[in-house]
Amino acid sequence: MNTHAVQAIYRFEMARWFRTVGQSLFSPVLSTSLYFIVFGSAIGSRMGSIQDEIGVTYGAFIVPGLIMLSILTESVSNASFGIYMPRWAGTIYELLSAPVSPLEAVSGYVGAAATKSIVIGLVILATARIFVPYSIMHPVWMLVFLVLISLSFCLFGFILGVLADGFEKLQIVPMLILTPLTFLGGTFYSISMLPPLWQVITRFNPIVYLISGFRWSFYGDQVADIDIGVSLMAATGFLLVCLTIVYWIFKTGYRLKN
């Protein structure tokens, strides 16, 4: 593998992120902090019945969901913008003509986008401690899910960046599809609290499996809506599908050479 090419792409993308770190890092952390203040501190203290049912405070319960909300949207936005800019500026042809394989190019772009998402997730995790007390029962699995989900949605964002033909279209999927699915995927509640029919319907939402698996790494089986094995397979399967599509895009030059 041409490690110099991977490092060059990675450093370039990270340098672009650091130039706008105020917007890229502090903005999602501030937005999530407001959720903690409103739902964790203000409303959470009045959720005694929920606390009795799930075994943890409401403020602690929503910590994994809010981290997922930020990671999913930031992963898709960072990765899609990272590949769309070279297409828009025309510098993508330099990358295509360089001695860089599709795997190396994907490793550089997606690796940088995933690093940004992981940093944001860890910063939000540390910030949450200021507002609500929480515990992490399986810290290793928490990191596994954090990295796996970040990589998966960075690859998904990469695909969106290739398909988009305008800046405004980069925000359609994160705002109109991904964010609603995340809110309806158990960010603020357990799907076991829903009526039976809606529990069945909610299981068709793929985000449910990711949030449930990530929440399991914090509090164990008592708050997991989906079996941890199923959640892990869903996350891994989504990663493999996106990786295959991205590799095919670079291999064929689809929407990159025209």
Mind listing the pLDDT tens digit for each residue in 189-240?
888 888 999 999 999 999 999 999 999 999 988 888 899 999 999 999 999 9
CA atoms of 51 and 53, how far apart (whole Å):
5
CA atoms of 178 and 245, how far apart (whole Å):
19
Nearest to 153 by CA among 190, 117, 195: 117
Per the prediction, the chain carries an average pLDDT of: 84
CA atoms of 171 and 251, how far apart (whole Å):
26
Mind listing the pLDDT tens digit for each residue in 81-109?
888 888 787 777 777 777 777 778 888 88
Q: How crowded is residue 48: how many other Cβ atoms within 10 Å of its Cβ?
A: 11
- Tokens 């279209």 map to which residue? 169
The pLDDT value recorded for residue 46 is: 59
Residues 6+ apart with CB under 8 A from 178: 72, 73, 76, 207
- Does residue 139 contact residue 232 with C-beta atoms inside 8 Å? no
The pLDDT value recorded for residue 56 is: 80
Mind listing the pLDDT tens digit for each residue in 19-54?
877 767 788 888 888 887 777 666 666 565 455 666
The pLDDT value recorded for residue 168 is: 76
- Does residue 35 contact residue 66 with C-beta atoms inside 8 Å? yes
Q: What is the number of H-type helices and E-type strands within the chain?
A: 13, 0
Mind listing the pLDDT tens digit for each residue in 163-173?
887 777 778 88
